[in-house]
C-alpha cells in the first residue's frame, strides 16, 4: 500500500518576546495538526529574533536546556494531537557550552533525539561561531511514527556531504530549519542570485539522494533599521526529483502543508540509480581538506 505523510512548515515573523514567540509557534503547530499535518517543523531558532547579528554575551541568556520549557510545551502538543514535531532551539548544554540544536519529538510526546548543527558560519551579521559549538552527534535519521526523517540546520544545507550521509542512514525526508535572508544593501545586486542558489542547492540534495526536502524559513526584517537582515521566507518542499511541490510567500506568515508519497522514493531511485552506482571504493580523499 502507498505510504503518505502530510508535512507542515511553520513560517513566521519573530518578535522580541521569547515567551510570545513560543506561544504563537505552539498555536501554529496546533493549527497545522488540526489541518491534518503529521510532521511539523519550526524555522531555525524560532524563540527569538536572530541574535547572531552581533557578538553579545547577554544573548546567551536566550538559551535553554533540553529537555526544557520548549520541549515540554511541544511534547504535550505532540501527545495531544499525535503528531511529530521538529523544534529548532538554542541549547544550553552546560556552562559555556551551547549548541544550535533541533529536538525531534515523536507522536507520543517522547523526545526521540537531538541533532546539533554541524557547520557553523561566521559571516557579516551571521556570527554563529561566537555562540555555537559545532555539533558532535553526527549525521543520522530518526524513526518517527510516520516516517524516517533526517534533520540538518541552515548552513548545513550548503554541504552535499551532510545530505548524503544523512540519506545513507535511511532518511525519507530531509528537514532544514532555516534563518536566512538578504543584507538589504546587497539585495538589488545579489538578491536573486543568493536566493536562487539557496533553493537550488537544496533541490539538488533531493535529486542526488532521491528523497524529499523541506526547508522552513522566517520572514520579516530584523536588526538595525538601516541594515540588519531581511529574511526571505519562501519556505518550500520539493520531491525526490527536485521539483518544488509547495512554496510559501516571501513576506507572509504561513503554515505550509504538503503531502509526501514515499512510493516516489523507490521509483526515483530505481530510475535514477545514483545510490547503486556510487564508487565508494574511490572516495577516500573526501576526508581531506583539499587535495593538492
215-246: per-residue pLDDT in tens?
A: 999 999 999 998 999 999 999 999 999 999 99
Band (94; pLDDT cuts 50, 70, 90): very high
CATH class belonging to 4-278: alpha beta
Q: Tell me the three cell numbers of residue 213.
A: 526536502
pLDDT band at 186 (very low <50, low <70, confident <90, very high): very high
Residue-averaged pLDDT of the chain: 97
Domain ranges of the chain: 4-278
Answer yes or no: are the C-beta atoms of 221 and 49 closer than 8 Å: no
∠ CA 92-98-104, rounded to 5°: 65
Residue 281 has pLDDT above 60, yes or no: yes
CA distances from 268 to 1, 198, 262 (A): 17, 23, 10
Tell me the CA end-to-end span of the chain in Å, nearest whole number: 51
- DSSP for 39-101 reads EEEPPTTTTS--GGGS--GGGGGG-B-SSSHHHHHHHHHHHHHT-EEEEEEEEEEETTEEEEE
**Counts for the chain of helices (H) and strands (E), in that order:** 5, 17
Percent of the chain with pLDDT over 90: 98
Measured torsion, CA atoms of residues 117, 119, 123, 128, in degrees rounded to the nearest 10: 30
For range 131-137, the mean pLDDT: 98
CA distances from 185 to 55, 71, 190, 224 (A): 21, 37, 9, 12
Judged against a pLDDT cut of 90, whether residue 139 lies above it is answered with yes
129 assigned to active site: no
Q: Which range, of 2-6, 35-39, 168-172, averages the lowest pLDDT? A: 2-6
Between CA 133 and CA 142, with CA 138 as vertex, the angle to 5 degrees is 120
User: 117 catalytic, yes or no?
Assistant: yes
Catalytic residue among 24, 44, 172, 230: 44
Model pLDDT, residue 104: 98
What pLDDT score was predicted for residue 291? 87
- Amino acid 43: pLDDT: 98
Catalytic residue among 117, 128, 238, 247: 117
> What average pLDDT does this structure show over 174-195?
96
pLDDT mean over 173-183: 97
Distances (CA, A) of 103 to 6, 48, 72, 183, 284: 19, 16, 11, 29, 32
pLDDT, mean of residues 159-177: 98
pLDDT at 5 exceeding the cut of 80 = yes
CA distance 170 to 279: 19
Over residues 57-76, the mean pLDDT reads 98
Q: How confident is the model at residue 91 (pLDDT cuts 50, 70, 90)?
A: very high
pTM over 0.95: yes
Q: What is the pLDDT of residue 59?
A: 98
81 backbone φψ class: left, alpha, beta (φ>0; ψ -120 to 50): alpha
Q: 41, 154, 238, 260: which one is catalytic? A: 154
85-100 burial, b for 16+ CB within 10 Å, e for fewer?
bbbbbbbbbeeeebbb
Task: Mark whether 161 is an active-site residue.
Answer: no
3-state secondary structure 105-131: ECCCCCEEEEEECCCCCEECCEEHHHC
Q: Which three cell numbers stand for residue 28?
A: 501554529
1 — pLDDT class (breaks 50, 70, 90): low
Grid cell of 151 as nine digits: 534533520
Amino acid at each position: 500500500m502507498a505510504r503518505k505523510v502530510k508535512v507542515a512548515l511553520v513560517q513566521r515573523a519573530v518578535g522580541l518576546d521569547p515567551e510570545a514567540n513560543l506561544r504563537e509557534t505552539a498555536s501554529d503547530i496546533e493549527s497545522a495538526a488540526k489541518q491534518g499535518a503529521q510532521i511539523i517543523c519550526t524555522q531555525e531558532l524560532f524563540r527569538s529574533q536572530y541574535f547572531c547579528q552581533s557578538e553579545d554575551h547577554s544573548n546567551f541568556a536566550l538559551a535553554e536546556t533540553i529537555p526544557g520549557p520548549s520541549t515540554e510545551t511541544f511534547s504535550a502538543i505532540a501527545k495531544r494531537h499525535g503528531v511529530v514535531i521538529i523544534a529548532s532551539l538554542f541549547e544550553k548544554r552546560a556552562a559555556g557550552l551551547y549548541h544550535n540544536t533541533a529536538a525531534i519529538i515523536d507522536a507520543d510526546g517522547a523526545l526521540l533525539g537531538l541533532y546539533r548543527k554541524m557547520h557553523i558560519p561566521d559571516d557579516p551579521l551571521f556570527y554563529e561561531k561566537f555562540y555555537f559549538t559545532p555539533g558532535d552527534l553526527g549525521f543520522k535519521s530518526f524513526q518517527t511514527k510516520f516516517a524516517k526523517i533526517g534533520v540538518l540546520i541552515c548552513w548545513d544545507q550548503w554541504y552535499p556531504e551532510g545530505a548524503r550521509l544523512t540519506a545513507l542512514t535511511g532518511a525519507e525526508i530531509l528537514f532544514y530549519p532555516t534563518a536566512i535572508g538578504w543584507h538589504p544593501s546587497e539585495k538589488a545586486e545579489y538578491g536573486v542570485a543568493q536566493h536562487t542558489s539557496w533553493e537550488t542547492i537544496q533541490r539538488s540534495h533531493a535529486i542526488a539522494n532521491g528523497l524529499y526536502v523541506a526547508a522552513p524559513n522566517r520572514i520579516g526584517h530584523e536588526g538595525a533599521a538601516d541594515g540588519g537582515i531581511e529574511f526571505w521566507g519562501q519556505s518550500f518542499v520539493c520531491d525526490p526529483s527536485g521539483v518544488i511541490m509547495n512554496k510559501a510567500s516571501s513576506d507572509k506568515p504561513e503554515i505550509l502543508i504538503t503531502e509526501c508519497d514515499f512510493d516516489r522514493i523507490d521509483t526515483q531511485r530505481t530510475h535514477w540509480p545514483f545510490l547503486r552506482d556510487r564508487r565508494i571504493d574511490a572516495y577516500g580523499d573526501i576526508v581531506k581538506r583539499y587535495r593538492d
